[in-house]
Structures are given as C-alpha cells and as structure tokens.
Amino acid sequence: AQRVTQPEKLLSVFKGAPVELKCNYSYSGSPELFWYVQYSRQRLQLLLRHISRESIKGFTADLNKGETSFHLKKPFAQEEDSAMYYCALGVNQAGTALIFGKGTTLSVSS
Amino acid sequence: DVKVTQSSRYLVKRTGEKVFLECVQDMDHENMFWYRQDPGLGLRLIYFSYDVKMKEKGDIPEGYSVSREKKERFSLILESASTNQTSMYLCASRGSGTQGYTFGSGTRLTVV
C-alpha cells in the first residue's frame, strides 16, 4: 500500500540554522512527490514538486529512490518559514488522489 | 486571483443536521477532492471525483456523500452530522498531468 511517513511532528530550530524535514514514502512504482506548506491562517499551498527540481524560498528536496525519501532542506532557516509542512505522494495513474503525510510543524525562533 | 472557493469559512451545526459544504473551482480542472484535516492526523481523503457525475471513495467516506453535477462544483454532504465530524474540511482541484493540487481556504465545521 502507498504510504507517506513524516517522522517528526514538531521541529524547532533557531534562525540561521539548517533545516531538514524528513519524508519517506512507500510505493513500488514511479512516484510523484510534493511538499505543501500551510502558514498560519492561510490555505495549503504547493511548495515544491520533485519533477520540477526547483528551489522555492530557499528550500530544496531531492528524490532518493534507493532510500525512498524526499527530504526537504534549507541551509539557513528564517522565522517566516515557521509553518506546517506536508509531504505528499502521487501515483501516476488516472483517477487517483495524493496521499499526504501527517505533517511536520516547523518552528523557527530567534 | 482565488481559484478554488469554499463557500463558508466557519460553520456551526447541530448533531443530526444535514450539512452541505460547497466548493467551486474556475480552472476547468477534471479532478476535485475533499479532505479533512485534523491535528496529528494530517489530511485524510474523504471522496474525490475525476469527472462530472463520477465519484470515488477515499479513506474515510463513512458518514459522507458527494455530488458533482457540474465540472466546476464539488459538494460534500454530511448526511447526519455528528460531533466526530467536527474538523477542518479542505477542497482541492487538480488538472491532468503532473500538477499539484490547488486548495481552497477550508471550512472549519463545528458540530454541537
């Protein structure tokens, strides 16, 4: 069965520290992977897609098929990065839905 | 610039009431989804639709139904609201291909 695991409920770091939000997935085929972010009182929005290999707001994520991971990284955290982050898995098949992890709250303090 | 609109931001309903949550998208997307979001549980899929009048059960469909009569509108129906359906409900849409979802702002439903 497809599954997404985000092992940390809460990650607290100081401003300027590196950040890594972990995401592991379970899927035997070729996955689509996404990171979504929800800032306080805002709607959930797409942060990154693995297929586009972009860097958004300083965040990057690399798909590691061997380790079935898609960790989100940022070298220097900012206070405005404080938010809830969800990793999501899509299977490339019509008529299917994204599977979300349980989310990690990132708290960046000064 | 709002592309997915949920009709209510906050709703308070009584136990046993029939509740309608409405979602409209203006991006001509084929796929629409309803999730509920609860602390510590993440987003759980209730129902989704990949075409007009088509629907598929998600992981937690019990106590819910959906309606998609037009491409742009996807309604979630709580047949008889119960207190354990108190939650944040998120609607999303997705076009074809490898795009991600566009989410609505959510409806926080409280059942008393």
d(CA B52, CA B101): 18
Please give chain B's pLDDT, 112 residues, in tens: 669 999 899 999 999 999 999 999 998 888 999 999 999 899 999 999 988 989 999 999 999 999 999 999 999 999 999 999 999 999 999 877 656 789 999 999 999 9
Token pair 């001509």 is at which residue?
B28
- DSSP letter, residue B99: -
Optimal mutation site among A5, A44, A105, interface B, most CBs of chain B within 10 A = A44
Please tell me if residue A84 touches chain B, with a CB cutoff of 8 Å.
no
d(CA A83, CA A108): 9
pLDDT at A50 over 90: no
> Which among A28-32, A45-49, A82-86 has the top mean pLDDT?
A82-86
Nearest-CA neighbor of A3 among A23, A30, A22? A23
**In terms of C-beta density within 10 A (0-12 exposed, 13-18 middle, 19 or more buried), how is residue A65 classed?**
exposed
Q: What is the pLDDT of residues A14-28, one digit of tens each?
A: 999 999 999 999 998
Domains of chain A: 17-93 (2.60.40.10)
CATH number of B4-111: 2.60.40.10
Per CB-CB distance under 8 Å, the chain B contacts of A102 are 40-42
Please tell me if residue B98 touches chain A, with a CB cutoff of 8 Å.
yes
List the single residue in A with minimal CA-CA distance to B32. A97
pLDDT value, residue A94: 63
Paired residues of A11 in beta bridges: A106
Shortest distance, CA A82 to any CA of chain B (angstroms): 16
Shortest distance, CA A43 to any CA of chain B (angstroms): 5
Please tell me if residue B29 touches chain A, with a CB cutoff of 8 Å.
no
* pLDDT, mean of residues A60-82: 94
Structure confidence at residue A93 as a pLDDT band (50, 70, 90): low
* pLDDT, mean of residues A7-14: 96
pLDDT value, residue A62: 87
pLDDT value, residue B97: 65
List the single residue in A with minimal CA-CA distance to B51. A95
List the single residue in A with minimal CA-CA distance to B42. A102
pLDDT value, residue A31: 87
